[in-house]
Structure 1
Amino acid sequence: MLFARKRGPLAFISGAAVLLLLTYLYLRQSDDEAAVWNPPGPQQSPDARARSRERQQAVKDTFSKCWHSYKEHAWGADELAPVTGGRRDHFGGWAATLVDSLDTLWIMDMKAEFEDAVAAAEAINFTHTELREINVFETNIRYLGGFLSAFDLSGDVRLLRKAVEVGDTLYKAFDTPNHMPITRWDIHAAARGEKQVAPNNVLIAEIGSLSMEFTHLSMLTGDAKWFDAVQRITDEMAAQQDSTALPGLWPLAANAEESIFNSGSFFTLGAMADSTYEYLPKMAAMTGGLLPGYQTMYEKAIDTATKHNFFRPLTPTNEDILISGEVHAKDDGSIELEPHGQHLTCFLGGLMALGARLFNRENDMDAARKLVDGCVWTYKALPHGIMPETFYMAPCQEPNDDGACKWSDEAWKEEVLRRAGKDASAADADAIIDADRLPKGFTAIPDRRYILRPEAIESVFMLYRVTGREDLLESAWDMFVAINRTTSTELANSAVHDVTTKEKPEAADSMESFWTGETLKYFYLVFSDPGLISLDEFVFNTEAHPFRRLVR
């Protein structure tokens, strides 16, 4: 092992860590894998099932078009440029789309294409890149996660060998004085033997979202070194969780060089923080509850977020929905909500549904439903049926009081003016609304893009699997049709610049690997039989790669 240390309160002693691995390997051979929390699954009539199969095939057709264009025009590159047919390498040049899509190919029963992709993946050299530095977080969730999931599904040992290769590379990013990782890592300097020091300013998501992949690699190989590396981070975060300016949540940035996770005043479950919170209940699920500290951390975090970050917005139809915003902790001890919504935070509804079932927190199901319904409503509110990347809305002053949350054109326009920084008349508000193309309820839309993100359909899928709500299937189909219509190109699908326009938005000529690795996978699975990637057997990493759970 790279290092040894005294353990914190969440960690096993080293012998128990090995026991966890051996227990997992033993139970994977067991025939007794009883369901532990997921209901039998939504039951559909024959007509409804036939409709879902047709919709599933439409999703597969879209994926197949994208895959074959990638193979023809950008094979071996990280991304296809879906308008011009070019190639892009933003993630090491290690064929991100290929690796991210391995489990999607398997799930969609494209086995011949899967075999071609595995053969190509064998040749990837993860010790070489033309980039000056690599993003450890992105490499972890896309490449390591992709190989682990594809191995779990197929049993092809070539994929486990590639996972070990990626894991060994990333492990060296922890070779610092305090064994905290360098998240934006100069791999060339490390190869030259230069001194490595963890950064003093690191995004919480990038250091707090390595646990699932590293732990699963240890579970599959029996080598505890990866688990030990990430458990050090978890121990520090757990020890400091109650001492932040908003106890329960961690600030957006941490000081990895000095292992400080409790200094800062900005708190969000959105961009640059999201997957840190996502991995808390998922680690508990993946390890069969043998690491109870993750449940404790999750419950503290979600209780604080429910109280301070979630808000009910004013809507013209008086919807009882929730949006997750951001919070600023003031020097005087007060807490200020910033009603800033993001597509990224749409993962929360599905996560809370998962947490409610895992930990018998049934009261959380109400918030889970309202968060998912909030994302569905936001999709429908925009001209093309697609949510923008970020937006602002006016929060109700008394969110649980229907009378206080009743729609008012006057209150909406006042908030539009306040957000614009103007103290002017209603006529000025109308001018801003027209110029900025603001649907009723929205007070600003700073980022009008849609970049093929998966978070909304992710939560629709999760909530549907948990509750069987039939209306979620219709919402999922409406979302797919809207996205495919708006983003389709001759070759594949492209991110677009502005979903607030009446005409078809301009394409950005970008198709990140999460489109085929996440978004289309979740669309396919929501229309599948619930036995396909059952939530009783699998838990998804933040890149939608399903890992087998430890089931007792």
Structure 2
Amino acid sequence: MSPDGLGWIIIDSLDTMMLMNLTDSLAEPRKWLQRTLNYDQDQDVNTFEMTIRMLGGLLSAHYLTTKIPNAASRRDSVYLAKAIELADRLLPAYESRSGIPYASVHLSKAKGVPSHADGGSSSTAEAATLQLEMKYLSYLTGNDTYWRKAERPMKVLSNNHARDGLVPIFVHPESGRFTSREIRLGSRGDSYYEYLVKQSLQTSGREPIYLEMWEEALRGIQQHLITTTKHSGLKFVAELPEGIGGPLSPKMDHLVCFLPGLIALGATQGHTLSKARTWPSWNSKKEDQIQLARDLMKTCWGMYAVTKTGLAPEIAWFHANEEDLSPAPGDRPMAPTRNSLSAWKKDYIIKPLDAHNLQRPETVESLFVMWRITEEPIYREWGWKIFNAFEKHTRLSEKRGYTSVNDVNAVPPPPRDNMESFWMVGHSDIQRHSPLTVFPPEDESLHYTVPQAETLKYLYLLFSPKDFIPLTEVVFNTEAHIFPILSKVKWETGWSR
């Protein structure tokens, strides 16, 4: 992906090595960062991916050296030093007329590069999923340049006055205006909503504007996107190809399965549900949000439960009554959900082009958050079944790793000869040295799997003690990198609605 390598998997893995007590293995990547990693390369890189994976990975490693036993070293200054160097290389991406970042940036030329597709537009989600990383870097360095550059896109997007908080999926970096009408919570829309909640959490509620934007968007989601399936009344998140007022498309990406956990996180601010219910501010609206999170979590679990392999497809389509796909489903009463697997199987449609599984993390991410917040064991049970399905159908022999698969309804599923970086694993007898009891200890055959990125990281945390990496102390970026919740921040939000 670049002439001399940028350490995509090395840096993405640093904080997981710390979490899993693989601290003896940190010496080599630290040395590589110090001696080899060079950002002065003739290479365009995606602004969003470079920020969430590389900048996020470096900053998370920097933070965890202060929190994880045995993770610290006298050479740990390299994480922050490289983060600053990288962020300075990324700043030209924000030099558009509007402040919306260009889709890419050229590293050695220090120049933003518009998208080569979509008429030069940037993805709305990508433009609005850079803030946690850049704000944390400002906090660490005392330099507000990173903070201000990254928060400006939020103002520009807000100035479009999207109806009911639901944003179209493309925005032009020069005009700052949306260039499409399509609204969805899958690709190019998803993490815009995620970072509304997480920006508010990151600064300990000192930026209420983002929580206000989230509450508005969640009402819009409930009003315009949530509808039900025909046979079992499962709630799902539809798409609006023509925008608000147009018909719903009964299509839901696996990517959308970040949403149940996010709704619960927004409702309780990372506290357990039992604690949140003691607050004077807790009300029936919050209870409804938690119930919606449970309902959507069930639908995401259903993507796995209805297939022959127990693995979810990339995209699910649903049988729905015609009236349930007409605009504003939130204005109509919805049928209750039936907990019948046979009824569920009638409602999920898996098209051949969508039947592949790419080892994505969103469902297990939400299971982790739902378990921590509700403390309901069903989420661990579902996570364990998902893990076993991956072990059974995607693990290769002779410790050769895991593979994505082409058809979740074929047994065995045809392999794709590809292992995604957000799944990436190594192999080691680490359980005997780990401070955590992660998986049921009686299953010795599973003690050789070392998670290195999102999907298996969230499964690891799902089965870790509840006080390990508590949601009241940290916020996860969209690549599962871990930043602290900041109690003292010297800057205020630089804009208002």
Judge same fold: TM > 0.5, yes or no: yes
* TM norm structure 1: 0.72
What is the aligned partner in structure 2 of residue 509 from structure 1? 418
Q: CA distance change for structure 1 residues 468 and 207 in 2, over 3 Å: closer, same or farther? A: same
Shift of 1:130: 5.7
Asked whether the equivalents of residues 322 and 370 of structure 1 are also in contact (C-alpha less than 8 Å), the reply is: yes
Matched, 1:336 2:247: yes
What is the aligned partner in structure 2 of residue 223 from structure 1? 143
Letter of the 2:164 counterpart: P
Asked whether the equivalents of residues 114 and 122 of structure 2 are also in contact (C-alpha less than 8 Å), the reply is: no
What is the aligned partner in structure 1 of residue 444 from structure 2? none
Letter of the 2:214 counterpart: Y
Asked whether the equivalents of residues 254 and 313 of structure 2 are also in contact (C-alpha less than 8 Å), the reply is: yes
- Counterpart Cα distance in 2 of 1:149 and 1:405: 42
Q: CA distance change for structure 1 residues 406 and 463 in 2, over 3 Å: closer, same or farther? A: closer
- Counterpart Cα distance in 2 of 1:236 and 1:127: 29
Higher alpha-carbon deviation: 177-186 or 393-402: 393-402
What is the aligned partner in structure 1 of residue 464 from structure 2? 528
- Counterpart Cα distance in 1 of 2:41 and 2:24: 29
What is the aligned partner in structure 1 of residue 311 from structure 2? 386
Q: CA distance change for structure 1 residues 406 and 376 in 2, over 3 Å: closer, same or farther? A: closer
What is the aligned partner in structure 1 of residue 237 from structure 2? 324
Matched, 1:441 2:347: yes
- Counterpart Cα distance in 2 of 1:225 and 1:377: 45
- Counterpart Cα distance in 1 of 2:99 and 2:114: 9
Give the SS at the match of 1:341: strand
Letter of the 1:171 counterpart: L
Matched, 1:111 2:23: yes
What is the aligned partner in structure 1 of residue 171 from structure 2? 254
Asked whether the equivalents of residues 385 and 479 of structure 1 are also in contact (C-alpha less than 8 Å), the reply is: yes
Higher alpha-carbon deviation: 98-107 or 231-240: 231-240
Shift of 1:473: 1.1
* TM norm structure 2: 0.79
Q: Which of 392, 395, 399 is the equivalent residue of 2:320? A: 395
Q: Which of 39, 48, 69 is the equivalent residue of 1:137? A: 48
Q: CA distance change for structure 1 residues 338 and 152 in 2, over 3 Å: closer, same or farther? A: same
What is the aligned partner in structure 2 of residue 35 from structure 1? none
Give the SS at the match of 1:311: strand
Shift of 1:184: 2.2
- Counterpart Cα distance in 2 of 1:403 and 1:526: 29
Asked whether the equivalents of residues 514 and 543 of structure 1 are also in contact (C-alpha less than 8 Å), the reply is: no
Shift of 1:125: 3.2
- Counterpart Cα distance in 1 of 2:419 and 2:128: 28
What is the aligned partner in structure 1 of residue 78 from structure 2? 158
Shift of 1:309: 1.4
Matched, 1:500 2:409: yes
Asked whether the equivalents of residues 100 and 156 of structure 2 are also in contact (C-alpha less than 8 Å), the reply is: no
Shift of 1:403: 7.5
Shift of 1:187: 3.5
1:257-293 C-alpha deviation (Å, 9 max, x unpaired): 11113x5321001111111110001000001111111
Letter of the 1:530 counterpart: K
What is the aligned partner in structure 2 of residue 121 from structure 1? 33
Shift of 1:322: 2.3
Q: Which of 460, 479, 486 is the equivalent residue of 2:393? A: 486
What is the aligned partner in structure 2 of residue 365 from structure 1? 290
- Counterpart Cα distance in 2 of 1:345 and 1:486: 23
Shift of 1:165: 1.4
Q: Which of 379, 382, 391 is the equivalent residue of 1:475? A: 382
Q: Which of 191, 204, 211 is the equivalent residue of 1:275? A: 191
Q: CA distance change for structure 1 residues 196 and 528 in 2, over 3 Å: closer, same or farther? A: closer
Asked whether the equivalents of residues 517 and 544 of structure 1 are also in contact (C-alpha less than 8 Å), the reply is: yes
- Counterpart Cα distance in 2 of 1:374 and 1:200: 35
- Counterpart Cα distance in 2 of 1:523 and 1:278: 20
Asked whether the equivalents of residues 359 and 420 of structure 2 are also in contact (C-alpha less than 8 Å), the reply is: yes
Shift of 1:117: 2.2
Asked whether the equivalents of residues 91 and 134 of structure 1 are also in contact (C-alpha less than 8 Å), the reply is: no
What is the aligned partner in structure 2 of residue 185 from structure 1? 105
Asked whether the equivalents of residues 257 and 363 of structure 2 are also in contact (C-alpha less than 8 Å), the reply is: yes
Q: CA distance change for structure 1 residues 406 and 500 in 2, over 3 Å: closer, same or farther? A: closer
Shift of 1:91: 11
Q: CA distance change for structure 1 residues 488 and 181 in 2, over 3 Å: closer, same or farther? A: same
Shift of 1:175: 3.0
Letter of the 1:325 counterpart: A
Asked whether the equivalents of residues 494 and 507 of structure 1 are also in contact (C-alpha less than 8 Å), the reply is: yes
- Counterpart Cα distance in 1 of 2:487 and 2:21: 26
- Counterpart Cα distance in 1 of 2:64 and 2:18: 7
Q: Which runs of 5+ in 2 are unaligned?
A: 67-75, 270-280, 325-331, 425-451, 489-497
- Counterpart Cα distance in 1 of 2:474 and 2:4: 28
- Counterpart Cα distance in 1 of 2:405 and 2:373: 32
Give the SS at the match of 2:240: strand
Q: Which of 345, 350, 366 is the equivalent residue of 2:261? A: 350
- Counterpart Cα distance in 2 of 1:478 and 1:100: 26
Give the SS at the match of 1:533: coil
Q: What percent identity do the matched residue pairs reach?
A: 29
Q: CA distance change for structure 1 residues 482 and 130 in 2, over 3 Å: closer, same or farther? A: farther
Give the SS at the match of 1:266: coil
What is the aligned partner in structure 2 of residue 303 from structure 1? 219
Residues 174-213 of structure 1: matches in 2 within 5 Å? 174-188=94-108, 190-191=109-110, 200-213=120-133
- Counterpart Cα distance in 2 of 1:381 and 1:112: 42
Give the SS at the match of 1:180: coil
Q: CA distance change for structure 1 residues 519 and 200 in 2, over 3 Å: closer, same or farther? A: same
Matched, 1:214 2:134: yes
Shift of 1:539: 0.7
What is the aligned partner in structure 2 of residue 264 from structure 1? 180
Shift of 1:123: 3.3
- Counterpart Cα distance in 2 of 1:475 and 1:349: 14
Shift of 1:486: 1.4
Asked whether the equivalents of residues 103 and 122 of structure 2 are also in contact (C-alpha less than 8 Å), the reply is: yes
Q: CA distance change for structure 1 residues 265 and 149 in 2, over 3 Å: closer, same or farther? A: same
Shift of 1:406: 11
- Counterpart Cα distance in 1 of 2:249 and 2:364: 25
- Counterpart Cα distance in 2 of 1:250 and 1:542: 18
What is the aligned partner in structure 1 of residue 483 from structure 2? 547
- Counterpart Cα distance in 2 of 1:534 and 1:99: 23
- Counterpart Cα distance in 1 of 2:147 and 2:92: 14
Give the SS at the match of 1:392: strand
Letter of the 2:249 counterpart: E
Give the SS at the match of 2:349: strand
Shift of 1:452: 1.2
- Counterpart Cα distance in 1 of 2:375 and 2:45: 41
Q: Which of 188, 206, 211 is the equivalent residue of 1:290? A: 206
